[in-house]
Amino acid sequence: MSRNNLKGIFFITSLFVLFGCGEPKVEKAEKPNIVIIFCDDLGYGDLTSYGHPTIKTPNLDRMASEGMKFTNFYSGSPACTASRYALLTGRYPVRSGFGWVLSPRSPRGMHPEEITLAEGMKNASYSTAMFGKWHLGVTKTEYLPLQNGFDEFLGLPYSNDMIPPKWKDIPLIDGNDTLEHNPDQTKLTKMYTERAVDFIERKSDEPFFLYVPYAMPHVPLMPGAEFNDSERGAYGDVVEEIDWGVGEIMKSLKAQGIAENTLVFFTSDNGPWIIKDEKGGSSGLLRDGKGSTWEGGMRVPGIAWWPGTVEAGTIQTQRASTLDLYHTAFSLTGQEVPKDRPVDGRNISDLLQNASMQKDEAYFYYGLNNRLMAVRKGPWKLHSVTYSQTGKDYFEGKLPLLFNLSIDPSEKYEVSDDNPQVVAELQQLITAHQKQLESEPTFFDQQ
């Protein structure tokens, strides 16, 4: 079937869903379903709704127009493993005890004493599933998703470039078993989407948590056969296929009559891999990309969709991050976050209803090897250390660096000399945070 035919079928089907033709009516549940869609290396500027001129993302654009688009949303790290740890634990990646990117032979992984988001949802009697990239340890069975709160798992255990000849192979894992080695990656996005839709259909009568961390647009770019005509080339093809997948998930929620019972959040694990040139994405107006704690490395698209709860067409300019999704999910399901360990994220339920957060807390940027490199509070961001995969030193060794992100999100205009009091206050926040870390419990030293 041609891609144009697929688009036509999708359009006709969407009309039926949009106008409720044959849609079952379900009363709003006390506990919402939660769906998190997590891209790999998608940049702040890679969606039409975030300013890309040629990549076509109609489903994500509709998701934003029907929901809330965040303009100051951050991933927990500018690298794969650390950002996934932050999302699933609500904790800064430095607390994990492992490096920011685990290799296939890394001896460490998700510690069994961590309480993951999936485990929290299971405690609230949710069905849980994950279809996509794990990258939180593979050398022990205890590191894998089924041992960390997920009832179902299909996906790759690490990044899709960890393949021969550098690595022995990459397994496609179903549950705890290897389904095949070195799978055809052009089928991954469709496979994960179809499993997600199947899960929604099977679990529509009970609360569920669904996590879909797509393997792309991480390099190598492997779009499905039907996605081959983006003006942006292979990178655009991959993003447009992910957009199709998001559309299928939203369509399924509407068809099952549970859209108003479901919070869907779409975001990325870090910024674009800019050293890959045209194979990498765009951070839009932001500086740098993946691997850095410049805004382009950690500020990412963030879209929340929850018909009837999240007001349509909302632009949310207040800061939030993937760490906040953990605390928010616990709150929405009537639970408290664990009290025996630090949980760094916040409950942003108020933000989802377009209310202001009562307290503006500091946000810490952890970069290379989970090192603390910058802090933001309010509009002010202070870099104490900088790094770029490009090798560039943008300000020729000057440190610290201060920027007012409300005025200058591109971090072009360094203003530390004019604001010494702000510099001192942010340096004090870094010092206090580091001292607090030293006194708080960890699990990794027992591993």
Are the CB atoms for 241 and 361 separated by under 8 Å? no
Q: Terminal CA-to-CA distance of the chain, rounded, Å?
A: 51
Q: Is 39 a catalytic residue?
A: no
User: What is the SS3 assignment for the chain?
Assistant: CCHHHHHHHHHHHHHHHHCCCCCCCCCCCCCCEEEEEEECCCCCCCCHHHCCCCCCCHHHHHHHHHCEEECCEECCCCCHHHHHHHHHHCCCHHHHCCCCCCCCCCCCCCCCCCCCHHHHHHHCCCEEEEECCCCCCCCCHHHCHHHHCCCEEEECCCCCCCCCCCCCCCEEEECCEEEEECCCHHHHHHHHHHHHHHHHHHCCCCCEEEEEECCCCCCCCCCCCCCCCCCCHHHHHHHHHHHHHHHHHHHHHHHCCCHHHEEEEEEECCCCCHHHHHHCCCCCCCCCCCCCCCHHHHECCEEEECCCCCCCCEEECCCEEHHHHHHHHHHHCCCCCCCCCCCCCCCCHHHHCCCCCCCCCCEEEECHHHCEEEEEECCEEEECCCCCCCCCCCCCCCCCEEEECCCCCCCCCCCCCCCHHHHHHHHHHHHHHHHHHHHCCCCHHHC
Q: Is 135 a catalytic residue?
A: yes
Catalytic residue among 52, 111, 135, 327: 135
| C-alpha R_g of the chain | 21
Distance CA(68)–CA(55), nearest Å, equals 20
Q: Which amino acid is at 114?
A: E
Residue with tokens 């698209």: 301
Catalytic residue among 80, 111, 218, 327: 80
Task: List the catalytic residues.
Answer: 80, 135
